[in-house]
């Protein structure tokens, strides 16, 4: 009986042990599932900063990427300044007689004029000295008649050579005087004032009907064949000014950045001291004329000096800015980009120095970065669908 009871107790213990044993199959599945979830979580974390922009859409939007490599970047001094007419490019036209000035054509600023074109006529009728054009014409005709008579007699020695030379001199003087104030005889009335060169009217200084005196400025004609880029540099950069060799500049009415050397420009001079009325040192470049650069315009100027090697730089179009922090977009593959914060150093208006954030060798978006930025706001890729 005791044996039977012991067997019964043993069977019960065995049954309890089997029921508490772990189910190896279920445990394995739970382990695998947990590992898979951990893997997905890791992938999501790894790809959370990546941006999807299909290659076809990127090309259509003008997105261009290039490999970044360290290279040469010049020392930069930022300054302000303006565009000026080069000396000798602008000519002031003055009155050749006193009288009432009349316009021979519309002389609004910007109107084109031709060399020897009559711009003004000045009438002196009614003035005490009379009409100088009529007086000059009488003197010219009298001198011409005397010259013609002497020319026919000099060969017969009736008029001496010395006397003939004197008559000819008086004739030439009268002719030049008459032609100067009559516009070569082309003026319909009054003294003619002509343009000495081709160009345009940059400033008209009188109104039609005004009284003018001899030598009074009437207008300024400019050709804009050459322009000056005049920069005002802070005196704290005085030691770096001798190294300046080129300049980029942007005018206040546009976004385009011009290169002085690209316009055939060169450094003309720089000041050795500040002016009496200004704390700035002048630095001047001379440029070739271009139609979209207006004399008198204010310019933001980047003066470039000595070269620095092994510098990472990017076109300014590659940079985007958010709350004072600059970013670029690194292309990972044809359809995928990563937003990368960078620290920006000096800029020459066209390119910007990158102090940190890029090491070189990365494929960076240099054009169309705004389209990648828009894609980052609306089309970040899901973690589990991206494959490298």
- 255: domain CATH number? 2.40.30.170
Is residue 300 within 8 Å of 256, Cβ to Cβ?
Answer: no
Confidence of residue 265 (pLDDT cuts 50, 70, 90): very high
pLDDT per position as a tens digit, 229-260: 999 999 999 999 999 999 999 999 989 999 99
Q: Is 367 inside any structural domain?
A: yes
Q: Is 275 inside any structural domain?
A: yes
Strand ordering across the sheet containing 246-251: 257-259, 246-251, 298-311, 71-85, 226-234, 280-288, 266-270
Q: Is 43 inside any structural domain?
A: no
User: What contacts 283, CB < 8 A, 6 or more positions away?
Assistant: 79, 81, 230, 231, 233, 241, 244, 247, 267, 269, 270, 271, 303
Same domain for 285 and 196: no
In the numeric block, the tokens 């970040």 are attached to: 380
pLDDT per position as a tens digit, 162-207: 888 888 898 888 888 777 777 655 555 678 888 988 888 988 999 9
pLDDT at 282 over 80: yes
Alpha carbon distance 138, 252 (integer Å): 56
Instruction: Identify the residue with better confidence: 56 or 302.
Output: 302
Domain C-terminal end among 308, 323, 351: 308
Lowest-pLDDT choice from 49-63, 150-164, 248-262, 315-329 = 150-164
Is residue 243 within 8 Å of 306, Cβ to Cβ?
Answer: yes
Same domain for 195 and 105: yes
Q: Is 14 inside any structural domain?
A: no
Calculate what percentage of the chain has a pLDDT beyond 70: 81
Q: Is 272 inside any structural domain?
A: yes
Lowest-pLDDT choice from 74-78, 96-100, 229-233 = 96-100
Q: What is the pLDDT of residue 49?
A: 65
User: What contacts 272, CB < 8 A, 6 or more positions away?
Assistant: none
Is residue 197 within 8 Å of 115, Cβ to Cβ?
Answer: yes
Domain C-terminal end among 308, 340, 364: 308
Highest mean pLDDT among 92-101, 149-158, 180-189, 307-316: 307-316
Domain C-terminal end among 292, 308, 324: 308
Same domain for 324 and 276: no
Same domain for 178 and 214: yes
Q: What is the pLDDT of residue 361?
A: 92
Longest Cα separation, the chain = 185
Q: Is 34 inside any structural domain?
A: no
Q: What is the pLDDT of residue 48?
A: 53
Calculate what percentage of the chain has a pLDDT beyond 90: 38
Alpha carbon distance 337, 376 (integer Å): 9
Same domain for 292 and 380: no
Q: Average pLDDT for residues 315-327, to the nearest whole number?
A: 92
Confidence of residue 352 (pLDDT cuts 50, 70, 90): very high
pLDDT per position as a tens digit, 322-348: 888 999 999 999 889 999 999 999 999
Instruction: Give the mean pLDDT of the chain.
Output: 81
CATH number for position 101: 2.40.50.100
CATH number for position 344: 2.40.420.20
pLDDT at 14 over 60: no
pLDDT at 152 over 70: yes
Q: Is 39 inside any structural domain?
A: no
The conformational region for residue 194 under phi > 0 = left, psi -120 to 50 = alpha, else beta, is beta
pLDDT at 383 over 50: no
What's the total number of domains in the chain?
3
Lowest-pLDDT choice from 18-27, 42-51, 265-274 = 18-27
pLDDT at 156 over 80: no
Same domain for 125 and 61: no
Q: Is 122 inside any structural domain?
A: yes
Lowest-pLDDT choice from 76-80, 138-142, 216-220 = 138-142
Q: Tell me phi and psi for residue 132, to 5 degrees.
A: -65, -25
Same domain for 274 and 179: no
Domain carrying residue 271:
76-86+225-308
Same domain for 97 and 199: yes
Alpha carbon distance 191, 113 (integer Å): 19
Same domain for 316 and 270: no
Same domain for 265 and 165: no
Alpha carbon distance 230, 227 (integer Å): 9
In the numeric block, the tokens 């009614």 are attached to: 126
Instruction: Identify the residue with better confidence: 385 or 310.
Output: 310
Say how many C-beta atoms besides its own lie within 10 A of residue 215's C-beta.
Answer: 10
């Amino acid at each position: 009986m005791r044996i039977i009871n012991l067997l019964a107790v043993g069977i019960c213990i065995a049954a309890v042990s089997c029921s508490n044993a772990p189910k190896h199959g279920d445990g394995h599945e739970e382990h695998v599932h947990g590992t898979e979830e951990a893997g997905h979580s890791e992938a999501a974390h790894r790809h959370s900063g990546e941006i999807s922009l299909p290659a076809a859409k990127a090309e259509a939007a003008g997105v261009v990427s290039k490999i970044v490599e360290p290279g040469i970047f010049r020392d930069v001094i930022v300054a302000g300044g303006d565009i000026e007419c080069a000396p000798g490019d602008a000519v002031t036209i003055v009155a050749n007689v006193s009288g009432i000035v009349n316009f021979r054509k519309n002389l609004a600023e910007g109107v084109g004029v031709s060399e020897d074109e009559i711009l003004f006529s000045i009438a002196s009728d009614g003035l005490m000295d009379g009409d100088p054009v009529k007086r000059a014409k009488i003197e010219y005709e009298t001198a011409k008649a005397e010259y013609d008579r002497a020319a026919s007699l000099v060969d017969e020695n009736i008029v001496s050579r010395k006397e003939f030379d004197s008559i000819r001199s008086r004739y030439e003087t009268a002719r030049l005087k008459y032609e100067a104030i009559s516009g070569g005889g082309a003026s319909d009335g009054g003294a003619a004032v002509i343009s000495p060169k081709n160009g345009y009217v940059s400033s008209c200084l009188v109104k039609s009907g005004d009284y003018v005196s001899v030598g009074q400025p009437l207008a300024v004609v400019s050709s804009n064949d050459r322009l000056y880029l005049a920069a005002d540099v802070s005196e704290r950069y005085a030691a770096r000014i001798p190294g300046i060799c080129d300049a980029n500049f942007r005018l206040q009415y546009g976004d385009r950045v011009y290169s002085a050397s690209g316009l055939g420009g060169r450094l003309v001079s720089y000041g050795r001291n500040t002016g009496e009325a200004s704390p700035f040192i002048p630095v001047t470049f001379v440029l070739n004329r271009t139609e979209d650069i207006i004399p008198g315009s204010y310019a933001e100027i980047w003066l470039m000096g000595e070269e620095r090697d092994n510098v990472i730089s990017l076109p300014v179009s590659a940079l985007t800015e958010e709350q004072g922090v600059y970013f670029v977009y690194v292309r990972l593959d044809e359809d995928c980009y990563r937003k990368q914060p960078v620290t920006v150093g000096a800029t020459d208006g066209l390119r910007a120095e990158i102090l940190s954030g890029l090491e070189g060798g990365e494929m960076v978006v240099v054009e169309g970065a705004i389209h990648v930025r828009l894609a980052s706001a609306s089309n970040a890729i899901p973690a589990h669908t991206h494959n490298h």
